[in-house]
Amino acid sequence: MADNETPVRFGIIGCAEIARKMSRAINLSPNSTLYAIASRSIEKAKNFAIKNSLLSDSIKLYGNYIELLNDPFVDAVYMPLPTSFHLHWAILAAEKKKHLLLEKPTALNVTQLDKIIEACERNGVQFMDASMWYHHPRTAKMKEFISDPKLFGQVKAIHSSSSYSPGPEFLENNIRVKPDLDALGALGDAGWYCIGAILWAMNQNLPTTVTALPTVARNSAGVILTCSASLYWEKDETVATFYCSFVSHETMDLRVYGSNGTFYLYDFIIPMDENSASFSFTSGAKFLDLHIGWNVKPQAVEVNSKLPQEASMIQEFSRLVKAIEVSKSKPESKWPYSSRVTQLVLDAVNKSIDLGFQPVHM
Amino acid sequence: MADNETPVRFGIIGCAEIARKMSRAINLSPNSTLYAIASRSIEKAKNFAIKNSLLSDSIKLYGNYIELLNDPFVDAVYMPLPTSFHLHWAILAAEKKKHLLLEKPTALNVTQLDKIIEACERNGVQFMDASMWYHHPRTAKMKEFISDPKLFGQVKAIHSSSSYSPGPEFLENNIRVKPDLDALGALGDAGWYCIGAILWAMNQNLPTTVTALPTVARNSAGVILTCSASLYWEKDETVATFYCSFVSHETMDLRVYGSNGTFYLYDFIIPMDENSASFSFTSGAKFLDLHIGWNVKPQAVEVNSKLPQEASMIQEFSRLVKAIEVSKSKPESKWPYSSRVTQLVLDAVNKSIDLGFQPVHM
């Protein structure tokens, strides 16, 4: 792969539902190609390939993960395994010199994540978690707005939510609510995005305290189905709240309150339309005389994109891989950093719940 | 006033800025008329009348409050006095058999409010706090949506905000931040609406616990400029959060998350347009195959109104006054009830702050 023309060859480890979307993204991104698929059996890998029209001579199928990691032609792996398996397989991937695109939540806790990140650093491979929304051009546009001292000012408050309601069967039996597979439940799955969005708005600065709100619902195995928390930055007097749930109607809210402006969107994780996404902002709003109306209304900003956000993520990841492999650049540290602060806050929410909703100082 | 044709004659006690809007509303409402204005001096009353084109032979001006209350032709008073003065003047108004439309926050605490409500009950006069938004037809439309078990389902979470940024001079010198006048600061002024909206969504059911978030900012006199809190209903596993502030850009958010639907609006307290207001809802949202979009988008519901919401409030208040005076009905108890639960939660937020952000059980 020591030239800039060859696309980055991806191996997918684990045929989760989300891998369907990602295999499409790998093929849509101009600098990557889907090279191999590994599942727990060759039948599973084949079925996945057939179901997603991926079966061809150019795609290798593996009946176990280690064979894919031993394939010298695999440059990078996308790993949508249950969280409990990340520590083992992510470290092994790094040791096999595979660049690592890891599904969220990245690990069961930050101690595990640090081991994964450290393995990537030691082996000179790129680490990135597969939070797609960071890579949508809309996100960059929102950052521009939020960074404008006149239009937006200082961040004062943030509210985010991530919820969906997959039904009673899911709540007891899905991987995402199994204590031995995805023990973090709705906090790890849906809450990951809320925490990430809040930290994104705060330029990845850790809050002073994290306090879970006394509103945790769990399934019969004790896995979180709903939770809420508040984050507080003492120096800036900024407060953030989030709500994540597997028992509430579909939401993906991000609302940011600044001193001079505000913005909101309702689909920050998955845009309602693939090629055109929007957010709305208000700046300099005042009441009309007699307080019988507003001088300005929220304005929608439309952002078009040629690629779906997940393909933009693959493209960015592959660009970094190429920079490392061809130009001998160092891996980009901002991606493991943002994963790490997200995981740190997630751990703090969990700790606060365990402490009976006491504040956890960061 | 013992007939249905004569309009209810209002006296305004206190020439606050908001009284300008309300004097217009009293004249717009078809069953009321502005009859008298009282200020601390006759010059202040006159200046107010001139400034608002109200000076005429048919409007009486008083240089003190008691003369207005002694005027037998005054049926009802609208009282926008600083909160510290409510206890004294509201009770006196009730004893003078004046129906009482009282500005929010209704009192410094629920003990005071109970005395006011009790005085109104004893004297058979209607009590209502002047929260206008309850009376907009949009609010009724939202209630319809939220009450639909199929479209909306059970309320799972609520977020509300009320903020504006009137500048540094206001933060030290305005009535709303003076400990001897409006000691409740942003919590009493802006927070009143958030708490009211949350309780409105929960059919005025009190939460199990109220917990202030560790994010209180105060001015040099110790009056709250920003605060946040969470409310929790144990039985329903419902959580609500709110943010109120005098140092953040203008917001009036209400976002309600149900099991089957959600709705939001950004101007619930004062609609952006006087005669046409909207809210947006989503119901039955699912992801498209491959999770590359949504099957439905938020739908805006437009609600037109002939009268501004504050005139609708006056109309409803006057209708109740007429029902009492002409048809010998009992005062409508739902209005003092909703003020009382709002004040109770407001007190609990204050108490939680004083306890170092510990939960307060209701």
pLDDT, tens digit, 9 for 90 and up, residues A161-218: 999 999 989 998 898 999 999 999 999 999 999 999 999 999 999 999 999 998 899 9
Nearest-5° angle of CA A43, CA A44, CA A47?
Answer: 85
Interchain contact, A215 vs B237, CB within 8 Å: yes
Mean pLDDT of A96-100: 98
Residue A1's pLDDT is 61
pLDDT over 80 (residue B1): no
pLDDT over 80 (residue B58): yes
Mean pLDDT of A330-334: 98
B200 token code pair: 């409105």
Interchain contact, A217 vs B226, CB within 8 Å: no
A14 token code pair: 């684990």
A44 token code pair: 């599973």
Interchain contact, B163 vs A255, CB within 8 Å: no
Mean pLDDT of A14-26: 94
CB < 8 Å to B264, chain A = 266
pLDDT over 80 (residue A2): no
For an interface test with A, which of B241, B252, B312 has the most A Cβ atoms less than 10 Å from its Cβ?
B241
Q: How far is A70 from chain B (nearest CA, A)?
A: 29
Interchain contact, B249 vs A239, CB within 8 Å: no
Task: State the Cα–Cα distance between residues B34 and B309, nearest whole angstrom.
Answer: 17
CB < 8 Å to A294, chain B = 250, 267, 270, 272
Interchain contact, A249 vs B261, CB within 8 Å: yes
What pLDDT band is residue B11 in, cutting at 50, 70 and 90?
Answer: very high
Residue B214's pLDDT is 87
The closest CB to that of B243, out of A214, A257, A297, belongs to A257
Name the more confident of B286 and B215. B286
Percent of chain A beyond pLDDT 90? 94
φ and ψ of B340, to 5 deg: -65, -45
The model's pLDDT over B179-216, given as tens digits with 9 standing for 90+, comes to 999 999 999 999 999 999 999 999 999 999 999 998 89
CB < 8 Å to B209, chain A = 214
What pLDDT band is residue A18 in, cutting at 50, 70 and 90?
Answer: very high
Interchain contact, A243 vs B163, CB within 8 Å: no
Residue A4's pLDDT is 80
Q: How far is A151 from chain B (nearest CA, A)?
A: 10
A33 token code pair: 């190609």
Residue B90's pLDDT is 98
Interchain contact, B292 vs A282, CB within 8 Å: no
A153: Cα separation from own chain's centroid: 27
Asked which of A206-210, A266-270, A333-337, B211-215 is least confident by mean pLDDT, the reply is B211-215
CB < 8 Å to A243, chain B = 157, 159, 239, 241, 257
Interchain contact, A232 vs B241, CB within 8 Å: no
Q: Which domains, ranges and CATH numbers included, belong to chain B? A: 8-132+310-331 (3.40.50.720), 134-307+343-361 (3.30.360.10)
Looking at every residue in chain A, the average pLDDT score rounds to 96
pLDDT over 70 (residue B2): no
Q: How far is A117 from chain B (nearest CA, A)?
A: 28
Burial of residue A74 (CB within 10 Å: 0-12, 13-18, 19+) is buried
Size of chain A in residues: 362
Task: State the Cα–Cα distance between residues B251 and B267, nearest whole angstrom.
Answer: 7
Interchain contact, B239 vs A228, CB within 8 Å: yes
CB < 8 Å to B213, chain A = 211, 230, 232, 239, 241
Please tell me whether the overall predicted TM-score, pTM, comes out greater than 0.95 for this model: yes
Beta carbon pairs, A and B, within 8 Å? 190
Residue A172's pLDDT is 86
Residue A61's pLDDT is 97
Interchain contact, A291 vs B18, CB within 8 Å: yes
Q: How far is A168 from chain B (nearest CA, A)?
A: 13
Residue A266's pLDDT is 97
What pLDDT band is residue B96 in, cutting at 50, 70 and 90?
Answer: very high
Interchain contact, B249 vs A298, CB within 8 Å: no
For an interface test with A, which of B17, B156, B163, B210 has the most A Cβ atoms less than 10 Å from its Cβ?
B156
